[in-house]
Amino acid sequence: MTTNAERAQVLESALRAGLGRNGAALAAHVTEDVRGWAPSLAVGSAAELVGALEQRDEALSQAFSGERLDVYALDVGGDLACAEWCLRMQHTGSLALSDGTTVEATDIAVTINGVTVAEFREGRICSFRHYWDELTVFEQLGLARPRHGR
């Protein structure tokens, strides 16, 4: 059994590996049968997770740069860990939208706040859920009207 501090570190390292597009490092922190969910993502194995990371991150790495991730462990106990995070990045390249249109670089700073909940087995993440508001990126880039109260 790993300690709470060790599980918090594994979660933070996995988040950073995902952001850094390091599939091998990410795979080292998860079980082979990891199950995961995030907006626009559902995986049932480490291979699916790494494949989804590579596919998604190619498009994002062309559109955004200067990523900075701050991670704060909120609660770690037993086999569960929860972390709040804040991702800051610049829109410095073309962003292809699902409808086929392209948004050229704006150099706008974008901030995404989120939470990740992870379940552990034998010191590695066997299940995770990421929660964040995808629409906030479009609002910050001026592509969607800000919602009331924001």
The CA distances from residue 29 to 6, 43, 95, 119, 130, in Å, are 11, 15, 30, 12, 16
Residue 149 domain-assigned? no
Full domain range(s) for residue 16: 4-140
Residue 116 domain-assigned? yes
The answer to whether 119 touches 127, Cβ cutoff 8 Å, is yes
Q: What is the model's pTM?
A: 0.88
Highest mean pLDDT among 30-34, 62-66, 77-81: 30-34
Residue 147 domain-assigned? no
Q: How does pLDDT run across 30-47, given as a tens digit for each residue? A: 999 999 999 888 999 999
pLDDT score, position 149: 60
* 117 class by beta-carbon count within 10 Å (0-12 exposed, 13-18 middle, 19+ buried): middle
Q: Helices marked H in the chain — which ranges?
A: 4-19, 23-28, 46-63, 135-140
CATH number, domain containing residue 116: 3.10.450.50
Is the model more confident about 145 or about 28? Answer: 28
Residue 145 domain-assigned? no
DSSP 148: T
Examine the pLDDT at 61 and tell me if it is beyond 80.
Answer: no
Examine the pLDDT at 135 and tell me if it is beyond 80.
Answer: yes
**Which two three-digit tokens encode residue 44?**
């049932």
**Which two three-digit tokens encode residue 121?**
């087995």
Residue 148 domain-assigned? no
N-terminal to C-terminal alpha carbon distance within the chain:
43
Residue 150 domain-assigned? no
pLDDT score, position 19: 87
Examine the pLDDT at 26 and tell me if it is beyond 70.
Answer: yes
**Which two three-digit tokens encode residue 57?**
């991150």
Residue 73 domain-assigned? yes
Rounded to 10 degrees, the C-alpha dihedral 17/23/27/32 comes to 140
The answer to whether 46 touches 54, Cβ cutoff 8 Å, is no
Round the average pLDDT of the chain to a whole number and report it.
91
* 22 class by beta-carbon count within 10 Å (0-12 exposed, 13-18 middle, 19+ buried): middle
